[in-house]
């Protein structure tokens, strides 16, 4: 008999999302790997045993036994695309949008991302940490145990670095595992409005290498990857500008992701796939040829239905088609003050099932193992498998499909990060 620090047993369904570290594509996304009356044994923060309650209680001993009382246990959610480090809010913009203003119109008039940039530039590290911790707490309460966080509300060297300092501090003090992404190319800052290419020069000649030096010296180095992202969109960065930034970043050592096809198809999906991006995100306007390219690539297609829901749109990225074409699809909240003020992966799943026609099984894989692969952590989180970090949530239900079926409530009964109840 092997010793464990903790055994959780008597689950109604132990939903493993097991994949052997790989992303799930196409029809594989239907399989969530359910073990009926399942149990896990945890030691040193990782799973050491995954099986039925009978076998785990036979093979492992622990003084710490948790009876799940027939409820559902799933991997903690991975939220692979967030912008949660920012100051203030966009409540006025919410009202403007209700009255009919469009997102890109608000951005072009110096609102949107730029209004959050102004507030974030003025905020201290301490105040940004405090505001962002409250957002991480909400995500944790919704069952998220790993997330990606982007910079991109600084848009100058000093503030982008300040945001990175905030992100590393969040990782130090909060139980959620964090992956940082450098998004200096989120919008053109007002001081470069007359000459956006000069801002691209600054990013390529200076900001990227400075950020990389910061990463190498930070606690993240050797633990998680560091991504570079661009917003490839009309009114943000053109295809050529995006190419320059992503190629420079790749040369420095960054892993790549990109916001593409949120509103307009500029060819960003093809570009990012060819560069070997880990994920391409949004995909509302992706073309059929690009879907085929994506299906043949190792890049993950990330859909973000919270953005469409928030904008009151009836059109969503065609995630059904992506999956049916054989792509690996992931799901994120995009938690940010403008286009998606949503901390909840269960809410993203609920919207995705209704408007993108994902089945609950596909939505769950998209929000766990495929989300983990979207941030380069497919080997360590996102599924319940021996050797992985013991991040899980217990849900107040006997059938995992309820997580997507109900919405607006809260089924999360308990969350464990690295085998510790949080
Ligand atoms: O993913 N598309 C650009 N970035 C975010 C929006 C951020 C904001 O509006 O502040 C997004 O939707
Ligand atoms: Fe985004």
Give the mean pLDDT of 2-28: 98
* pLDDT of amino acid 34: 98
Residues with CB under 5 A from ligand 2 (ion): 334
Backbone angles phi, psi at 304, to 5 degrees: -135, 70
In angstroms, the CA 345 to CA 310 distance is 14
In angstroms, the CA 232 to CA 99 distance is 27
Percent of the chain surpassing pLDDT 90: 97
State in Å: Cα 292 to ligand 2 middle: 24
Give residues (CB < 6 A) around ligand 1.
83, 112-113, 116, 231, 259, 262, 307, 334, 336-340
- pLDDT tens digits, 37-71: 999 999 999 999 999 999 999 999 999 999 999 99
State in Å: Cα 194 to ligand 2 middle: 25
In angstroms, the CA 184 to CA 201 distance is 12
Percent of the chain surpassing pLDDT 70: 100
In angstroms, the CA 195 to CA 204 distance is 15
* Cβ 356 vs Cβ 320: under 8 Å: yes
Nearest to 366 by CA among 75, 83, 85, 140: 75
Residue 110's pLDDT band, with cuts at 50, 70 and 90, is confident
Closest ligand 1 atom to residue 334 Cα is 1
In angstroms, the CA 147 to CA 229 distance is 15
State in Å: Cα 6 to ligand 2 middle: 37
The number of the ligand nearest the C-alpha atom of 339 reads 1
Q: Which two tokens stand for residue 256?
A: 């790549």
In angstroms, the CA 222 to CA 260 distance is 29
* Cβ 266 vs Cβ 104: under 8 Å: no
State in Å: Cα 338 to ligand 1 middle: 6
* Cβ 321 vs Cβ 291: under 8 Å: yes
State in Å: Cα 231 to ligand 1 middle: 8
Structural domains in the chain, CATH included, are 2-76+382-421 (2.30.40.10), 78-374 (3.20.20.140)
Q: Which of 113, 232, 237 to mutate to test the pocket of ligand 1 (most atoms within 8 A of CB)?
A: 113
The number of the ligand nearest the C-alpha atom of 309 reads 1
Closest ligand 1 atom to residue 259 Cα is 2
Q: Which of 227, 336, 342 to mutate to test the pocket of ligand 1 (most atoms within 8 A of CB)?
A: 336
Residue 90's pLDDT band, with cuts at 50, 70 and 90, is very high
Which residue has a Cα nearest atom 12 of ligand 1? 339
State in Å: Cα 186 to ligand 2 middle: 8
Which residue has a Cα nearest atom 6 of ligand 1? 339
Q: Over the chain, what is the mean pLDDT?
A: 97
Residue 108's pLDDT band, with cuts at 50, 70 and 90, is confident
What is the per-residue DSSP string for 139-187?
Answer: HHHTTEEEEEEE--S--SHHHHHHHHHHHHHHHHHSSSEEEEEEEEETS
In angstroms, the CA 159 to CA 218 distance is 17
Which residue has a Cα nearest atom 1 of ligand 1? 334
Residue 99's pLDDT band, with cuts at 50, 70 and 90, is very high
* Cβ 293 vs Cβ 269: under 8 Å: yes
* Cβ 90 vs Cβ 116: under 8 Å: yes
Give the mean pLDDT of 199-210: 98
- pLDDT tens digits, 343-363: 999 999 999 999 999 999 999
Closest ligand 1 atom to residue 281 Cα is 1
* pLDDT of amino acid 285: 98
State in Å: Cα 264 to ligand 2 middle: 15
CA gyration radius, the chain: 21
* pLDDT of amino acid 103: 85
pTM over 0.85: yes
- pLDDT tens digits, 265-315: 999 999 999 999 999 999 999 999 999 999 999 999 999 999 999 999 999
State in Å: Cα 388 to ligand 1 middle: 32
The number of the ligand nearest the C-alpha atom of 81 reads 2
Q: Which of 316, 340, 348 to mutate to test the pocket of ligand 1 (most atoms within 8 A of CB)?
A: 340
* pLDDT of amino acid 355: 98
State in Å: Cα 63 to ligand 1 middle: 47
Q: Which two tokens stand for residue 271?
A: 């570009």
């Amino acid at each position: 008999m092997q010793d464990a620090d903790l055994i959780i047993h008597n689950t109604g369904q132990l939903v493993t999302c097991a994949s052997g570290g790989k992303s799930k594509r196409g029809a594989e996304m239907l399989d969530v790997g359910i073990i009926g009356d399942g149990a896990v044994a945890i030691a040193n923060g990782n799973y050491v045993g995954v099986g039925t309650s009978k076998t785990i209680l036979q093979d492992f001993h622990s003084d710490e036994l948790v009876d799940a009382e027939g409820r559902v246990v799933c991997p903690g959610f991975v939220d692979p695309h967030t912008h949660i480090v920012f100051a203030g809010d966009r409540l006025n913009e919410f009202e403007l949008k209700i009255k009919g203003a469009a997102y890109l119109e608000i951005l072009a008039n110096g609102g949107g991302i730029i209004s959050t940039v102004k507030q974030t530039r003025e905020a201290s590290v301490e105040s940004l940490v405090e505001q962002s911790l409250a957002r991480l707490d909400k995500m944790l309460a919704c069952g998220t145990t790993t997330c990606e966080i982007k910079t991109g509300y600084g848009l100058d060297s000093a503030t982008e670095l300040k945001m990175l300092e905030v992100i590393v501090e969040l990782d130090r003090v909060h139980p959620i595992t964090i992956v940082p992404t450098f998004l200096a190319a989120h919008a053109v800052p007002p001081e470069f409005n007359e000459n956006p290419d000069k801002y691209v020069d600054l990013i390529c000649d200076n900001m990227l290498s400075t950020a990389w030096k910061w990463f190498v010296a930070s606690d993240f180095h050797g633990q998680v990857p560091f991504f570079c992202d661009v917003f490839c969109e009309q009114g943000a960065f053109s295809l050529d500008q995006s190419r320059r930034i992503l190629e420079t970043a790749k040369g420095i050592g960054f892993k790549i992701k990109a916001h593409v096809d949120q509103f307009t198809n500029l060819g960003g999906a093809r570009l990012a796939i060819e560069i070997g991006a880990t994920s391409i995100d949004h995909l509302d306007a992706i073309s059929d040829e690009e879907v085929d390219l994506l299906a043949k690539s190792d890049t993950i297609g990330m859909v973000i239905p919270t953005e469409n829901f928030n904008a009151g749109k009836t059109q969503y990225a065609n995630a059904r088609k992506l999956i049916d074409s054989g792509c690996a699809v992931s799901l994120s909240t995009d938690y940010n003050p403008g286009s998606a003020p949503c901390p909840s992966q269960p809410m993203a799943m609920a919207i995705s099932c209704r408007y993108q026609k994902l089945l609950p099984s596909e939505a769950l894989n998209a929000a766990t193992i495929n989300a983990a692969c979207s941030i380069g952590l497919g080997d360590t989180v996102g599924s319940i498998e021996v050797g992985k970090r013991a991040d899980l949530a217990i849900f107040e239900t006997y059938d995992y499909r309820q997580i997507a079926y109900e919405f607006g409530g809260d089924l999360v009964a308990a969350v464990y990060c690295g085998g510790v109840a949080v």
